[in-house]
């Protein structure tokens, strides 16, 4: 759906709050939780995992439509997205080299490419729902069903509560799994919990907001915060805030300037990362300028 | 405690992977109050041996017997911790206090005090508030040593703790490990490539040799005199590292 060209002022926005409430709250909740989980995604170098899972969620939605239209089997697209996201998460979380004899990167590439290709093929056979497929893949949906909003908020709240409760164990098991295992931590359970949390959150969020912004929320806010060099507890908090901010600000930008929602949210998250790079560069400049100064100081006079 | 009083014992232990044994069956004990160094050429099976003894991979046959109350700690190579992980050194030390499901407990003053004690024992108090990834390799190793001490282990395993250090730092670190083993009664097991340090500081040596298919275990003088060891490394004398 496209926003109406006439609707572009705050008063019009507030007047139509009943329409915009769901997508805004959804962007706020999904952005916040994905921003939080994104710290793990970035630090564990799982960015391609996130890309593969979001792509699989898109395939799940396409599959749900296909089953409904061609085989008469009703499957809610949300369930399709969450199910495929979870399956791909579990495939990618296996200890590569043991269960599946492929390096993890190759496995991720397989899931990503296969999911994307299959979604395109299914989309070709369900042309009457093609706009829905676009919405899922690129996040062009303006509206969010109440059912989808509730799914995002409830899943997000549960995942956030669990990961905060287990945070110390998750961090230790994530970054020094062998030592954690030797000390008796349930590393496999912690690892699976993290992967499944990411899979569920990406799945339900992708159905509501689209794969592209969901991928952006799960990577860019955390990348921005980590570029700033803040310590880990602050990184989690700030990435949560930036993720939520990217979701809400992106939606408002799309509304006021008549752009697609998903693209606006993605660009907004990207701008945060670019801003962080700029700050890092500006911080680095005095150091670089100091080098010639020191060099001059030790140079013999002419 | 085990029948022999050792916190950890290998019985007819065969290590390897994919069903292929790397070394013959070995029987040995890791003893308290001693610095044990694991020596062998590249590919001799040192890391596989370590991982099997630690329970990180299953043995092909035989078993590893831990005393019921024995606490084990493991320190991998300092470089294995991610360079972009934004943690203070004392946050890394605090990991040593976790065990089982204790990560569900909230942080408190007692934990902070335990971290400080461990940092002091490792000679790294001044590093506690610094970013872990800003530290030199020698400083990182001291912090990881503090993490090991924070867990109050009976046995500490360290995988090439001095690999990224210069010769001076390497010697200081090994001397510190020997001191900790002797003064605190810990069993410390270290993988090393530096024969000179082994000859000066080790109380026990485990020599692994795939070519001759032997595992030799004992005091340095006895291991250095073994024909397989001499064939690999030549003649070596034991020096007093004190």
**What are the tens digits of pLDDT across the range A82-116?**
899 888 888 877 655 566 677 777 888 888 899 98
Q: Please state which architecture CATH assigns to domain A31-282.
A: Orthogonal Bundle (1.10)
Average pLDDT, integer, range A273-290:
72
Q: What is the DSSP letter of B130?
A: S
Beta bridge partners of B9: B29, B65
Which of B56, B101, B147 has its CB closest to that of A178? Answer: B56
Nearest CA in chain A to B79: A176
Name, of A113-117, A219-223, A291-295, the range with top average pLDDT: A219-223
Q: What is the mean pLDDT of residues A182-210?
A: 92
Assigned token pair, B57: 């991979």
Place of tokens 């490539």: B193
Pairing of strands B187-191, B155-159: parallel
Count of alpha carbons within 13 angstroms of residue A5, beta-carbon side = 0
Of the listed ranges A72-81, A157-166, B63-72, the one predicted with least confidence: A72-81
Interval B19-61: pLDDT, tens:
889 999 999 999 999 999 999 998 889 999 999 999 999 999 9
Q: How confident is the model at residue B169 (pLDDT cuts 50, 70, 90)?
A: confident
Is the predicted pLDDT of residue A1 greater than 70, yes or no? no
For the segment A160-188, the average pLDDT, to the nearest whole number, is: 94
Rounded Cα distance, A36 and B76, in Å: 28
Average pLDDT over residues A8-30: 89
pLDDT at site A95:
59
Torsion of CA A194, A199, A204, A208, to 10 degrees: 110
In the structure, what pLDDT confidence band is assigned to residue A302 with cuts at 50, 70 and 90? very low
Q: How does DSSP assign chain A, residue by residue?
A: ----TT--SHHHHHHTHHHHHHHHHHHHHHHHHHHHHHHHHHHTT-HHHHHHHHHHHHHHHHHHHHHHHHH-----HHHHHHHHHHHHHHHHHS-TTTSS-S-HHHHHHHHHHHHHHHHHHHHHH-GGGHHHHHHHHH-------HHHHHHHHHHHHHHHHHHHHTHHHHHHHHH-HHHHHHTT--HHHHHHHHHHHHHHHHHHHHHHH-HHHHHHHTTHHHHHHHHTT--HHHHHHHHHHHHHHHHHHHHHHHHHHT--HHHHHHHHHHHHHHHHHHHHHHHHHHHHHHHHHHHHHHSPP-
Secondary structure letter of residue B168 according to DSSP: H
Output Rg (C-alpha) for chain A, integer angstroms: 21
Query: Please, which residues have CB within 8 angstroms of residue A55's CB and are 6 or more apart in sequence?
Result: A88, A111, A112, A115, A116, A119, A211
Mean pLDDT of B87-100: 91
Interface membership of B99 toward A (CB under 8 Å): yes
Every domain of chain A and the residues it spans:
31-282
Structure-token pair, residue B157: 């395993």
Query: Chain A interface, mutation test: which of B64, B79, B85, most A Cβ atoms within 10 Å?
Result: B85
In whole angstroms, how large is the CA radius of gyration of chain B?
18
A to B CB pairs, distance under 8 Å: 76
Find the closest chain A residue to B154 by CA distance: A183
Percent of chain A with pLDDT over 70: 84
B89 and chain A: CB distance < 8 Å anywhere? Answer: no
Among candidates A157, A189, A159, which has minimal Cα distance to A174?
A189
Backbone φ and ψ of A243, nearest 5°: -60, -45
If pLDDT is split at 50, 70 and 90, which confidence band does A183 have?
A: very high
Lowest mean pLDDT of A33-47, A251-265, B6-20, B73-87, name the range: B73-87
- Per-residue model confidence (pLDDT) at position A301: 37
State the Cα–Cα distance between residues A69 and A127, nearest whole angstrom. Answer: 10
CA dihedral B120, B125, B131, B137 (to 10 degrees): -70
pLDDT at A300 over 50: no
Residue B162 to residue A45: CA distance in whole angstroms = 27
Q: Which residue of A has its CA nearest to B129?
A: A231
**The pLDDT value given to residue A129:** 67
Query: Contact A145/A207 with Cβ under 8 angstroms?
Result: no
Q: Tell me if A232 and B91 make a contact (CB, 8 A cut-off).
A: yes
pLDDT at A144: 86
Q: Which residues in chain A are closer than 8 Å to B56, comparing Cβ atoms?
A: 178, 181-182
- With a cut of 70, say whether residue A130 has pLDDT above it: no
Binned at pLDDT 50, 70 and 90, residue A286 comes out as very low
Question: Distance from B215 to chain A by nearest Cα, in Å?
Answer: 24
Q: How far is residue B118's CA from residue B17's CA, in Å, rounded to a whole number?
A: 36
Q: At what angle do helices A47-71 and A187-209 cross, to 10 degrees?
A: 60
The two structure tokens encoding residue B49: 């041996």
Q: Does A178 touch chain B (CB under 8 A)?
A: yes
Q: Is B17 helix (H, G, I), strand (E, B) or coil?
A: strand
Q: Kindly give the pairing relationship between strand B61-66 and strand B8-14.
A: antiparallel
Inter-residue contact A28 to A248 (CB < 8 Å): yes
pLDDT band at B1 (very low <50, low <70, confident <90, very high): very low
Closest-CA residue in chain A for B75?
A179
DSSP lists the bridge partners of residue B26 as: B13
Contacts of B82 in chain A (CB under 8 A): 43, 175
Kindly state the average pLDDT of the residues A166-173. 94
What is d(CA A210, CA A201) in angstroms, rounded to the nearest whole number?
Answer: 12
**CB < 8 Å from B in window 34-53 of A:** 43
Give the model confidence (pLDDT) of A261-277 as tens digits. Answer: 999 999 999 999 999 99
Quote the percentage of chain B above a pLDDT of 90: 57
Distance, in angstroms, between B191 CA and closest chain A CA?
A: 16
CB atoms within 10 A of CB A67: 16
Question: Over 70: is that where the pLDDT of A74 sits?
Answer: yes
Q: What is the mean pLDDT of residues B161-182?
A: 87
Which of B140, B2, B103 has the alpha carbon at shortest distance from A171?
B103
> What is the DSSP annotation of A201-261?
HHHHHHHHH-HHHHHHHTTHHHHHHHHTT--HHHHHHHHHHHHHHHHHHHHHHHHHHT--H
Q: Which residues contact A299 (CB under 8 A, 6 or more apart)?
A: none
- pLDDT (average), residues A225-232: 90
- Confidence (pLDDT) at B105: 79
Using alpha carbons, select from B11, B7, B1, B27 the residue that is nearest to residue B153: B7
B132 in contact with A at a CB cutoff of 8 Å? no
């Amino acid at each position: 759906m496209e926003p109406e060209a006439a609707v572009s002022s705050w008063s019009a926005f507030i007047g139509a709050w009943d329409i915009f409430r769901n997508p805004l709250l959804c962007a706020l909740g999904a952005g916040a939780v994905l921003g939080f989980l994104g710290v793990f995604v970035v630090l564990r170098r799982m960015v391609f995992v996130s890309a593969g899972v979001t792509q699989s969620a898109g395939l799940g939605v396409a599959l749900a439509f296909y089953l409904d239209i061609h085989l008469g089997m009703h499957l809610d697209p949300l369930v399709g997205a969450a199910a495929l996201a979870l399956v791909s998460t579990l495939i990618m979380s296996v200890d590569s080299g043991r269960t599946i004899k492929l390096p993890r990167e190759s496995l991720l590439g397989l899931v990503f490419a296969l999911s994307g290709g299959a979604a395109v093929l299914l989309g070709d056979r369900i042309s009457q729902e093609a706009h829905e497929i676009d919405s899922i893949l690129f996040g062009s949906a303006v509206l969010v069903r109440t059912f989808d909003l509730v799914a995002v908020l409830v899943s997000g709240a549960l995942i956030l509560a669990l990961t905060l409760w287990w945070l110390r164990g998750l961090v230790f098991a994530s970054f020094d799994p062998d030592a954690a295992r030797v000390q008796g931590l349930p590393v496999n359970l912690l690892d699976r919990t993290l992967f499944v949390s990411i899979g569920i959150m990406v799945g339900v969020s992708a159905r509501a907001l689209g794969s592209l912004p969901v991928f952006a929320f799960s990577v860019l806010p955390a990348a921005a915060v980590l570029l700033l060099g803040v310590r880990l507890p602050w990184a989690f908090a700030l990435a949560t805030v930036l993720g939520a901010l990217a979701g809400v600000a992106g939606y408002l930008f799309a509304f006021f300037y008549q752009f697609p929602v998903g693209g606006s949210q993605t660009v907004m998250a990207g701008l945060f990362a670019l801003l962080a790079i700029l700050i890092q560069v500006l911080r680095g400049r005095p150091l670089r300028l100091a080098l010639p100064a020191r060099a001059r100081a030790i140079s013999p006079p002419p | 405690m085990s029948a022999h009083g050792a916190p950890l014992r290998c019985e007819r232990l065969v290590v390897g992977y994919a069903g292929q044994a790397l070394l013959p069956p070995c029987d040995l004990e890791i003893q308290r109050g001693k610095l044990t160094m694991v020596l062998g050429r590249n590919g001799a099976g040192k890391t596989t041996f370590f991982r099997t003894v630690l329970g990180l991979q299953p043995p092909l046959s035989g078993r590893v017997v831990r005393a019921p109350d024995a606490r084990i700690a493991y320190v991998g190579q300092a470089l294995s911790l991610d360079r972009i992980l934004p943690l203070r050194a004392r946050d890394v030390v605090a990991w040593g206090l976790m065990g089982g499901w204790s990560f569900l407990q909230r942080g408190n003053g007692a934990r902070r005090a335990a971290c400080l004690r461990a940092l002091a024992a490792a000679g790294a108090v001044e590093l506690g508030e610094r970013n872990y990834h800003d530290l030199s390799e020698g400083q990182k190793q001291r912090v990881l040593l503090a993490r090991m001490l924070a867990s109050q282990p009976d046995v500490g395993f360290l995988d090439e703790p001095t690999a990224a250090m210069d010769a001076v730092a390497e010697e200081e670190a090994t001397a510190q490990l020997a001191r900790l083993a002797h003064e605190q009664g810990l069993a410390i097991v270290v993988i090393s490539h530096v024969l000179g340090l082994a000859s000066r500081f080790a109380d026990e040596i485990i020599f692994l040799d795939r070519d001759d298919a032997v595992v030799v275990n004992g005091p340095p003088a006895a291991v250095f005199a073994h024909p397989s060891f001499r064939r690999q490394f030549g003649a070596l004398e034991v020096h007093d590292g004190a």
